[in-house]
Structure 1
Amino acid sequence: MKTVRAGLVTALVLLACAVPAQAGAGHSAEDAGDSWLMLTVSHGGTRSAAQGGTMLRCDPPGGDHRHAAAACAELAAAKGHVSDIPKKYVDCPEVFAPVTAHAQGKWRGRQIEYSGTFSNTCVLNARTGSVFALDEA
């Protein structure tokens, strides 16, 4: 009887240790598990209401975003601030075809809201990296 009881106690201890380890495998608010953005880019001066947007999830990078890994890496380096993504020095055409970019969601548990209007898509991508590169394959 003592052997059975010792076996049960051992099994319960092992089970109790396994459950917190499984729960701990999740992510805290400090991790990217709470990082997602709904992104829209509209051409012209106003945002299209019909445009559903693109979901970017980080951890693991995914969602509907074609360049999720690069966008998540750039956001991580900028601590979730789109405006702090390093600007690329690119020769963009001097064509006025305004685009408005909007991001709303969470970065590591913190609410994020970003909006910016740029003279064209080239300038948008040079200023925001891969985050709003939604139309490129």
Structure 2
Amino acid sequence: MPNTARWAATLTLTATAVCGPLMGSATAAPSLAPSGLYAPSALVLTTGHGQSAADATPERAVTLNCAPTASGTHPAAVDACAELRGIKGDLEGLTARNDVFCTRQYDPVVVTVAGVWQGKRVAYEHTFANECVKSSYGMTVFAF
């Protein structure tokens, strides 16, 4: 199976798992109290080695739901959601930490994020020089 097809299959399966339950909330009864309403925040994060998502081999995919509560298969869902709230869901706002020192080895790692953050569609792709550089961005969002 070509790498592009593997990425598509991975994203489709994980997006269905994450966003499927959200579809029911769009048709919820209008009698819900305002305190029961929330803007969904559900993301699928993937990582793999390669120059871009199109030519990378997918290695890991996790789900992250941040509303109404933190959950999903992300190993640090509560902390990752807190970190995303701190940058208002703008993944470009994640910056490299100063306390991490990485080699200059070039072994590109691609991270993709797809889903919704507070009801708005999110599509993010970033290629890091290596695994260490990827891990240096933020504290927990990309730590999976």
Q: Normalized against structure 2, the TM-score is what?
A: 0.67
Could you say what secondary structure the match of 2:33 adopts? helix
RMSD over aligned Cα atoms:
2.1
Could you say what secondary structure the match of 2:42 adopts? strand
Tell me what 1:12 maps to: none
Aligned-residue offset at 1:127:
2.1
In the TM superposition, 1:56-135 aligns within 5 A as 56-59=64-67, 60-89=69-98, 90-134=100-144
* Amino acid paired to 1:78: I
Q: Which 4+ residue blocks in structure 1 deviate beyond 6 angstroms?
A: none
Percent pairwise identity = 34
Within the candidate set 29, 41, 45, 1:39 is matched to 45
Question: For residues 94 and 75 of structure 1, do their structure 2 counterparts lie closer, same or farther at Cα, with a shift above 3 Å needed?
Answer: same
Aligned-residue offset at 1:129:
3.2
What does the per-residue CA deviation read over 1:45-80, in whole Å, with 9 as the maximum and x for residues that have no partner?
33336x572111113111000011111111101110
What is the aligned length?
Answer: 110
Aligned-residue offset at 1:93:
2.1
What does the per-residue CA deviation read over 1:78-112, in whole Å, with 9 as the maximum and x for residues that have no partner?
11011102431111122222100000011100111
Find the aligned partners of 1:27 and 1:121 in 2 and give their Cα distance. Answer: 38
Q: Is the contact between residue 100 and residue 116 of structure 1 (CA under 8 Å) also seen in structure 2?
A: yes
* Amino acid paired to 1:55: T
Find the aligned partners of 1:74 and 1:27 in 2 and give their Cα distance. Answer: 22
Find the aligned partners of 2:111 and 2:83 in 1 and give their Cα distance. Answer: 16
Find the aligned partners of 2:36 and 2:78 in 1 and give their Cα distance. Answer: 20
Which segments of 5 or more consecutive residues in structure 2 lack a partner in the other structure?
A: 1-30
Find the aligned partners of 1:98 and 1:81 in 2 and give their Cα distance. Answer: 22
Higher alpha-carbon Rg: 1
Q: Normalized against structure 1, the TM-score is what?
A: 0.70
Residues 1:55 and 2:63 aligned together: yes
Tell me what 1:28 maps to: 38
Aligned-residue offset at 1:28:
3.0
Which segments of 5 or more consecutive residues in structure 1 lack a partner in the other structure?
A: 1-19
What does the per-residue CA deviation read over 1:18-38, in whole Å, with 9 as the maximum and x for residues that have no partner?
xx6x63332333xxxx00111
Find the aligned partners of 1:97 and 1:38 in 2 and give their Cα distance. Answer: 23
Aligned-residue offset at 1:131:
1.2
